[in-house]
Amino acid sequence: MIGALIVRDVRRGFTGAAWLPIAFFLLVATLVPFAIGPDARLLSRIGPGALWIAALTAALLPIERLIEPDRVDGVLDQLALHDVAEESVAVAKIVAHWLTFAPLLLIATVPASALLAMDGMSLARTELALAIGTPGLAALALAVAAVTAGLPRAGAMAGLLLLPLAVPLLIFAVANAVLLEAAISLLLTAGAPFVAAVAIRAART
Amino acid sequence: MTGLLRFGGVALRRGGRLLFENLDLELGPGEALQVAGPNGSGKSSLLRLAAGLLDAELGRVERSRAALADDSLALDRELPLGRALRFWCGSPEATMDSLGIGFLREVPVRFLSSGQRKRATLARVAASGAPLWLLDEPLNALDADGSERLGSLIAEHLHDGGAVLAASHQSLPGNWRWLELRG
């Protein structure tokens, strides 16, 4: 059932709007040279940080479709009746969300880095940091989606919740502290399913 | 446990309001129980309690594996009906035929009428293989043919040693024990 759920969510992600966060990510990266000016040295210095801000804001876009549609439509209830624990549902959804979000983001980082005049070394470091950080980011997005599911103005609430919690990830990612970033990402990935499961159970009426 | 569902002294509170208390009931193989009562008396909540989706305020609920059909469709709108049902139960084809929706196998779920959707949720329950069926207003949106087909599916399920708990204010086809919630 878990495997089927991952396959289903990935399929829905790609037939749905998986490209939307990526387009948003590229758009934000495009805005930076306009906002800062064409100074290549300055751009390449702020490039990695700017890409992370773009990635974090892009990660907000899919939040509303991660949990809420399945809650409203009774899919979460049916999964419970099939004896799938809410924690397992959350893990499956984190995996599926990462698969529809992270690989495309890693690809989009290549053209985005060119826009910011980043050299190959800097691009490689940013790709590594994104590869390590995105599982934590995906897990955090899912937990936030579960906590805000069913609330009015859930999208805005989700942003207010997710961005502060992503700050540790951001700090270690742009500081090239790979091991500390991995530790934070692991902590988020390991904790998020339990938070999401409690939220899913509490949202049942 | 010989019974498929057992409530012992169950009380349920929803939104600060006590819906019922000291409720005892037991459903064994081959038994069908209809829960009736006015709107808001807690029929659906009783079913969700039996499904394990809600927690009782007091008392104990024991149940065997159950399948629930309620108002929510829980089928992917963009998929053909056959594929959408297969996500939940391995081979729904025979059940789809007995509910008269076999010919809709290739039709995307979003094009189904409300009666066809109701039949689809009932097909999921009937194809689940679960011994306990929980049906919330199973006759809603069903036509005469649909309720007749549902009646024979239920009779077959009871004959095979299953049990059915249904909430409805209409009279259901077949022989049902009766539980009235006062509200």
- What 8-state DSSP symbol labels residue A62? G
- Looking at residue A160, what is its pLDDT? 93
**pLDDT interval class at B183 (50, 70, 90):** low
- B110 part of contact set with chain A, CB < 8 Å: no
Residues A74-87 have pLDDT tens digits of 999 999 999 999 99
For residue B167, what are the CA distances in angstroms to A72, A152, B25, B88, B160?
A: 21, 31, 14, 23, 21
- Looking at residue A35, what is its pLDDT? 93
| CB contact burial B52-64 (16+ within 10 A = b; e otherwise) | ebbebeebebebb
β B58-63/B5-14 pair status: antiparallel
- Looking at residue B172, what is its pLDDT? 86
CB contact under 8 A, B68 and A77: yes
CB contact under 8 A, A12 and B88: no
For residue A47, the enclosing domain spans: 2-202
Cα-Cα-Cα-Cα torsion A143, A147, A152, A158, nearest 10 degrees, comes to -40
- B74 part of contact set with chain A, CB < 8 Å: yes
* Token pair of A38 as six digits: 């064409």
**Total number of domains constituting chain A:** 1
Nearest residue on chain B to A72, judged by CA atoms? Answer: B72
Where in chain B are the domains? 68-175
What CA–CA distance (Å, rounded) separates A160 from A144? 10
- Looking at residue B16, what is its pLDDT? 85
- What 8-state DSSP symbol labels residue A162? H
pTM for the model stands at 0.93
Of the candidates A74, A75, A82, the beta carbon closest to that of B70 is on A74
Of the candidates A8, A81, A204, the beta carbon closest to that of B67 is on A81
**A66/B182: higher pLDDT:** A66
Does the pLDDT value for residue B160 go beyond 80? yes
Nearest residue on chain B to A4, judged by CA atoms? Answer: B87
Over its length of 205 residues, how does chain A's per-residue pLDDT go in tens digits?
899 999 999 999 998 788 899 999 999 999 999 999 989 999 999 999 999 999 999 999 999 999 999 999 999 999 999 999 999 999 999 999 999 999 999 999 999 999 999 999 999 999 999 999 999 999 999 999 999 998 988 888 999 999 999 999 999 999 989 999 999 999 999 999 999 999 999 988 7
- Looking at residue B106, what is its pLDDT? 94
Does the pLDDT value for residue B1 go beyond 80? no
- B67 part of contact set with chain A, CB < 8 Å: yes
Mean residue pLDDT of chain A comes to 94
- What 8-state DSSP symbol labels residue B171? P
- State the nearest Cα–Cα gap between B142 and chain A, in angstroms: 20
What CA–CA distance (Å, rounded) separates B164 from B67? 10
CATH homologous superfamily for B68-175?
P-loop containing nucleotide triphosphate hydrolases (3.40.50.300)
Residues B101-113: what's their mean pLDDT? 94
Residues B15-60 have pLDDT tens digits of 888 888 899 999 999 999 999 988 888 889 999 999 999 988 899 9
Tally of CA atoms within 13 A in the half-sphere of A38 that contains its CB: 0
Residues B3-11: what's their mean pLDDT? 90
